[in-house]
Amino acid sequence: MAGDLLDNRGRGDVRWSWPPIHPEGRKFGVIAVGVSLVFLLGLDWEIVGWPLLLLSLGVFAFFRDPERVVPQDERMIVAPADGLVSLIAEVEPPAEMIVDDGSEHAGLTAGKVTRISIFMSVFDVHINRAPIAGTVRRVVYIPGSFVDAGLDKASEENERQHILIERTDGLKIGFTQIAGLVARRIVPFVKPGDTVGVGQRVGLIRFGSRVDVYLPAGTDSKVLLGQKVIAGETVLAEIGTQKLIEGVAQ
């Protein structure tokens, strides 16, 4: 169904299929299978080999890369990551997205905006996607520590990578891939100057992490704390819309 047009009037053809494994993760799965076979067949240590074989299946599952149906509406900002909305706060964007980087393209404007933080557990899909269509203006990697990605301070202390995308009308969205307790590698698929479509794959973070999205000024979240979101599908916000939305956990 990749590339097929699907809509809310029932048009289109959908069939379930096994999600493919992203090439970035295949080598880890093959290594895990190889180690488990050494214990099972070479050393005859079944007590170790079988758990390792199950773990190798988990590694393949971690790097699954399912197709997503991406809303095609320029007013919408979609989630760049699967996971739990763990924080929503009014903050200043990171300095790396604001300061003059020596290019011809300005960064984000200083001033508080809404930041939505999406926490990805090891059970979530870890392929990250573009929240809007446009041109990648910045990809800034910053080394750091590996505190719990669920903590607010992870935005400033952890290993992270900022990505800034600008639309043709000048609207900019910045988002940050943040490594967590287990994650140790942020892998970009894009570089400055690349043109991306909304929902296009732009990178991944290995083994548990978080993504922060900085909404434009005058735009509020359409998702709630504690809500599960899906990368490339869930609408995080509608540009220029400010409205209090409440929910009840039940």
The catalytic residues are: 209
DSSP H/E element including 173 = strand 172-179
Q: Please give the Cα distance from 177 to 167 (Å, whole number).
A: 20
**CB-CB contact of 15 with 1 (8 Å):** yes
3 backbone φψ class: left, alpha, beta (φ>0; ψ -120 to 50)? left
User: Phi then psi for 50, rounded to 5 degrees?
Assistant: -65, -45
Q: E-strand spans in 126-171?
A: 127-129, 134-142, 160-166
